[in-house]
Chains A and B, each alone.
Chain A
Amino acid sequence: MNELIAQLLWNGLVAGSLLALVSLGLTLIYGVAGFVQFAHGELVALGAYSMLVFHKFLGFSFIPAGMAAIILVIIFGLIFERFFFRPVRDKNPMIPLVISIGLSIGLQAVLQMVFGPQIQTISNIRFESLSVGGLFLVTPSQIIAVCASFLLTGLLIFFLHKTRRGRSLRAVSDNRNLAQIFGMNPDVAMRWIFGLSAGLAAVAGIFLGFEQNLEPLMGVQISVTAFAAVILGSLGSVRGAILGAFVIGFSQNLLVGLGVVPSGFSVAIPFVVLIIMLLFLPSGIFGKKFELLRK
């Protein structure tokens, strides 16, 4: 039983770490741009497929391939911002939201056209699982994913709080007009936010690709779960997104693994948590006191 609980806790940590990277991107865009970027999941998928192209097809080793994939996805994020979202930035928030849904469906179709519907693996190298104290098994890619997630999350919080650029992003998020009066450029803020979000999505996609392989619709499930995590923590809150991701990651694994809910119900858990939150704490966990980016 101890082994089972240890394994479930580790699985929850891995799931929460990957989910946090995706949730952070969503919450950053919402915080600054004021709408939900539904094509964010497809940027996750794009990260994974870019890694496939650079590593498996073009023969780059892991780190250069990962860097190239992240840069490519950031470029896509910036293109999205410049050509699809900036022109409608000051319009009704439903407009960018609908555009993002269209982008999401379009990117799924493109991935399917280019790579086919079948599952792909990023690497032919087989990573053996390692036993931790005889209690639970971990794979090298899981360890790297968890470490990378914690590192990036820490760096992001540091960036937002301790750097001039980060503080200006928060200022734009707080009150765009006032920030403009003080000389801050909202276009630059938007570029930074879309670039950062795309980069985080790419990292999540690369690790998700190692963890679960690649298929064109791989971004859908994680992005929908990330939406739940973001709402759970409170829309626009960085700390809320991180907490929401780990609450969902751990609850999915522990509730199913310990038999509290049937396995077939696991995909519904984030939404049950979400409904409970909306009923009893509609502003999310950090809705009132701890909103970092947006009130």
Chain B
Amino acid sequence: MKNTYILLSALLICGCATTPFSTDISGSTSSPVVVSPPPIILEGDPVKIGAILPLSGGMATMGIELQKSLIAEVEFANERGGVLGDRPIEIIFEDGQCNAGIATEAAQKLIRVEKVSIILGGLCSPETLGAAPLAEKNKVVLLTSVSGAASISYAGDFVFRNAPEGNTNGKIMAEYADKEEFEKVVLLSEISDFPMSVADAFHSEFSGEIIEEKFAPGVTDFKTIIAKVKEVEGDALFFNPQQNQSFVLFMKQLREAQWEGPLMFNNTVVGNPALYKDISEFMVSNTSVAGSYDVVSNKMQEDLLERFEDRWDREALFQHLLANQHDSLALIIQAIDTVKDETDTEGIRDYLYAVRDFTGASGTFSIDVDGDAGKSYELVRFDGKAFAPLKK
């Protein structure tokens, strides 16, 4: 019995200890990764900006891609003179692991130890919502380029979002389901902030019947849920994950269960061809449609992708996300140059609230009173290789 209690205590320790480790871009375990400014003529002290992204765990593929793009963009900005005349930008990355608790620790470290006054990120909504209270309390500007949870709009005065809200993703999928005259849709959502926002909007907008199932983060065995979902005999299945790795596992098991019927997804599953490698035929035969960022291709975006390719010798994944992040960095640089002091976070905050018709790689947008860029989603359908817009 004594041994049982020792074991249970150790289980708790292990549960806490298995998750947190930071990784650099090559994946090594280390303290925070610091992208040092290049040795060029910028002689001023670096302007430190924090970044919280999932660099390990189920969303690491996406997080590392955004990290690589940010490195390329900061190098480019530094080559062009940095900020405030002669000061290079230095990005300090912290691993948020798509987890609110870990992101809070990451924000704590960035604010208390690294003394940053601006944080880019998180990527997952739990990361942004985990970091938001600390950012707000310490008057640190927090700007996410991806997170979609509805509650981010009300997370604080210093919290901004340059990405569409998740509930508009739910709305566009409900409109699609209505247009296709689905009477009964099975909605399968991961229990996390973004999918819950999508699910709430889908519930309020879809006129047909919704059979809802939920799964916890980290679930790898979907066979039982799939058996249950098949029993329901819905007209379509809407898979609504937080992490795109859930998508890979789910789709493999869905195919093995011989699912037949239209498939719907949220934005999480879009943008990485590796995800569809083994299931493309299955996805095409079951008409796979998702809601994705409405990004209009433009020269700035092409240049951004070219810089990524030059820097990392390969084409960028998740291209629709990189444009937003590029624009977030551009906004921050403009804001610092305008207020002339990176520690004047109230000035930077006010500058961001005043942004109107900003044209960047992701298109033209303004920031509203909730700190949201008010971006939208569009419907995309899987064409055998990638998700492509249904319209345009």
List residues of chain A with CB under 8 Å of any chain B CB: 1, 3-4, 7-8, 11, 14-15, 36, 38, 93-94, 97, 101, 104-105, 108-109, 112-113, 116-119, 121, 124, 126-127, 129, 137, 139, 211-213, 215, 217-218, 220-221, 224, 227, 231, 235, 252-253, 256-257, 259, 262-268, 278, 282-283
Contact = CB atoms under 8 A, between A and B. Distances in A.
Contact of B18 (A8, A217, A262, A283): A217
A133 to B, nearest CB: 15
B284 to A, nearest CB: 15
Contacts, number: 142
Contact of A105 (B4, B18, B214, B224): B18
Interface residues of B, number: 50
B189 to A, nearest CB: 9
B278 A126 contact: yes
Contact of A113 (B29, B64, B213): B29
Interface stretch (B44-52, B71-79, B215-223, B328-336): B215-223
Nearest to A34: B3
Contact of A212 (B191, B249, B257): B249
Given A231-B7, A264-B214, A282-B4, A101 B224 contact: no
Interface of B: 1, 3-4, 6-8, 10-11, 13-15, 17-18, 21, 23, 26-29, 56-58, 60-61, 64, 191, 213-216, 218-221, 223-225, 227-228, 231, 245, 248-249, 252-253, 256-258, 274, 278
Contact of A4 (B1, B227, B258): B227
Consensus secondary structure, chain A interface: helix
Given A119-B248, A119-B249, A224-B11, A112 B4 contact: no
A112 B216 CA distance: 23
A267 B258 contact: no
Contact of B214 (A7, A211, A262): A262
A263 B191 CA distance: 10
A4 B220 contact: no
Given A252-B224, A266-B216, A101 B14 contact: yes
Given A112-B56, A266-B215, A283-B1, A97 B6 contact: yes
Given A4-B227, A97-B6, A212 B221 contact: yes
B64 A235 contact: no
10 contacts: A104-B14, A104-B18, A117-B58, A212-B249, A227-B7, A227-B11, A231-B8, A252-B224, A256-B225, A266-B215
A117 B60 contact: yes
B23 A112 contact: yes
Nearest to A108: B18
A38 B10 contact: yes
B224 A11 contact: yes
B216 A213 contact: no
B249 A101 contact: no
Contact of A257 (B6, B27, B227, B256): B227
Nearest to B245: A119
A101 B17 contact: yes
Nearest to A109: B29
A124 B219 contact: no
B274 A263 contact: no
B278 A121 contact: yes
A15 B221 contact: yes
B220 A218 contact: yes
